[in-house]
Amino acid sequence: MRLSRIALAALSGYLTGTIPSSDVAARLASGGAVDLRAAGSGNPGGANAAKVLGARWGYGVMAADIGKGVFAARAGRRLAGDAGQHVGAVAAVVGHCWPVWNGFRGGKGVSCSVGQCLSTFPAYFPVDLGVAAVAAAGPWRERAFVATAASSAVWVAGATLWWRRSWPNGWGGRPTAGLPLAAAASSLVILDRFRRGRAA
């Protein structure tokens, strides 16, 4: 019964992640004339939506993608408790990056993972935003990948520290081993998407 609930949390999270927020924004903004997978950077995410469709649409896509991570984690928690929230959140990142409905051509998962962090690790969320801002401002040539790698490493380290010290975690619940494991899993998915984007 427990495994079936976790599997349901995973399925629910994946399907939530596949919701094509950038495609919806492109249809609303251009009447279907713009395909974000063929315009700008070719990435169907908030940054490319902002570049191609305008800042307002880009922020809207980012907010929707963050919401997908939050919803998947909350739904997973209702279905299967602590393990379910982590499985659901990671599955949403996977679904966002590799949506079955679009030939497994999705975004990079960063905004969705922000929703994961906000829902499962709220105590760390302000730190995560600060680390991301500092990393993105650094003088690196390949800034996006380096900033993401740095943010991911600190996220996993922070999750491990919170779990080992049993520090308070707000509405995210008591930190368990699932916290760093889920952070690491989502980070690996996101970094793989960045690596594939650089190689393309």
Neighbours of 1 (CB within 10 A): 6
Give 103's DSSP letter. T
The count of structural domains within the chain is 1
Which residues, other chains included, contact 170 with Cβ-Cβ below 8 Å and sequence gap of 6+?
122, 123
The pTM of the full predicted model, rounded to 2 decimals, is 0.91
Tens of pLDDT, residue by residue over 17-64, are 999 999 999 898 888 778 888 888 788 888 888 889 988 999 999 999
Q: Which domain holds residue 126?
A: 2-199
Contacts (Cβ under 8 Å, ≥6 apart) of 18:
95, 96, 99, 100, 101, 102, 106
Q: For helices 125-136 and 143-165, give the axis angle rounded to 10 degrees.
A: 150
The pLDDT of 82-90, averaged and rounded, is 97
Positive or negative, the Cα torsion across 125, 126, 131, 134? positive
